[in-house]
Structure 1
């Protein structure tokens, strides 16, 4: 997979490279982003890496499909209520994910339909440190020039300076033409073009799966960008997938009804 993207000069935000990289951002007030989820993903017995994600319902976390798109046995643990991911904070809830649904039209080539919904069982306990974030409906859009926020854990510079606390950066929604010109296989309907033109602020690598928050709603999911550029970045456009998300949430609810055909 990596070789494929290198050959096409496109760069997947590789989740095994660290717990995230917010460049040009700042540390947020502890637990002020209660929707944030930290995904620890283990591929087999030796390789582990991490991604971001976000809680949209007590039993559901959204993230990027490429985070779980690995060969062999994949195990995912979601941590909610975290600020310092290396500490045993009393606020943290760690939930082993037994089931997730990748979009049926997800493709490694160009990371099309890069979205996955993870089912939490047991459900998250909602409190001041763990809360869900709304998503837009199918007809809602975020305008060019809108300032949005993206949070993540880990690297804070291109020299791989690390941090264990949650950090955040403000990025603008850009003209679609920018990504169409610079990003291979960019699709306007299902993707968002986002970034900082001064190239001083960005997401990268393990920030994959984290939310683009605009007007207190999660409008995008960190997906991909160019190998050696901080600008622009591609996000999965959540409003485009809202009908699919709602259908999966309905199925999740049915699975929790004792005696239903979907339960188990």
Structure 2
């Protein structure tokens, strides 16, 4: 069970600036409903949380911070590959790779995000960020991507979205207490991506990204 378990401290949360976090994707149903967050690590590969598979994502939205924006692009998910040791959220290994049906054209609107080294050292009170289209503190769903700086944990990110430190995706949003992030004394839990690099490389580089749902 490789997790980053850190107490959160809310600093501020706002609409993500234009031309930022261009690796973010929205996992969506066949009918266009937002289900989970995710992030591009390759033109045709997205990382998200394994428990998002239970929602049966059909496609991703990429290229827009707004779920209804004019620049958005929808791409079908070809296959899903959960970590083989994942059983249920809370027991670890909450990570999944999505193979897209086509490559996303990388440009000044859409970019990938690098993964960390096989080791990470997060300093006390280090400022990182999490983003997503999940509920805000007033419990309203939002169409615009929201981002918050945290030290080290965040209350707004969608499941599957990245914890970003120093420009690298170091964690995947996994779970918190009763799906409620507003607990001052309880940690949010992120899957530690650095511990899964061999698995990610094996699946993506050797063409083993097959559906294991």
Using structure 1 for the length normalisation, give the TM-score. Answer: 0.68
1:167 is aligned to 146
1:211 is aligned to 162
Instruction: Please list every run of at least 4 consecutive aligned residues from structure 1 whose deviation after the TM superposition is greater than 4 angstroms.
Output: none
Report the CA distance shift for 1:23/1:50 in structure 2 as closer, same or farther (over 3 A). Answer: farther
1:180 is aligned to none
State yes or no: 1:148 paired with 2:128. yes
Q: 1:138 aligns with which of 99, 118, 131?
A: 118
Whole-Å separation in 2 of the counterparts to 1:107 and 1:143 = 31
User: Is contact 1:147–1:214 with CA below 8 Å preserved after alignment?
Assistant: yes
1:31 is aligned to 19
Q: 1:240 aligns with which of 195, 204, 211?
A: 195
> SS state of the match for residue 203, structure 1?
coil
2:60 is aligned to 78
Aligned pair count? Answer: 196
1:56 is aligned to 41
User: Is contact 1:93–1:124 with CA below 8 Å preserved after alignment?
Assistant: no
Q: CA deviation at 1:229?
A: 4.8
Q: Is there any run of 5+ residues in structure 2 with no aligned partner, and where?
A: 1-9
User: Is contact 1:106–1:112 with CA below 8 Å preserved after alignment?
Assistant: yes
Using structure 2 for the length normalisation, give the TM-score. Answer: 0.83
Q: CA deviation at 1:75?
A: 4.3
Report the CA distance shift for 1:118/1:64 in structure 2 as closer, same or farther (over 3 A). Answer: same
Whole-Å separation in 2 of the counterparts to 1:224 and 1:54 = 17
Q: Is there any run of 5+ residues in structure 1 with no aligned partner, and where?
A: 1-21, 174-193, 196-201, 256-264
2:175 is aligned to 224
Deviations 1:105-162 (A, max 9, x none): 01215241000000112111100110000001212333332211001114222x4223
State which structure, 1 or 2, has the greater radius of gyration over its C-alpha atoms.
1
> SS state of the match for residue 97, structure 2?
strand
User: Is contact 1:106–1:113 with CA below 8 Å preserved after alignment?
Assistant: yes
1:126 is aligned to 106
Report the aligned-residue RMSD: 2.4
1:112 is aligned to 92
Whole-Å separation in 2 of the counterparts to 1:153 and 1:38 = 8
Q: CA deviation at 1:83?
A: 1.4
Report the CA distance shift for 1:49/1:28 in structure 2 as closer, same or farther (over 3 A). Answer: closer
2:54 is aligned to 69
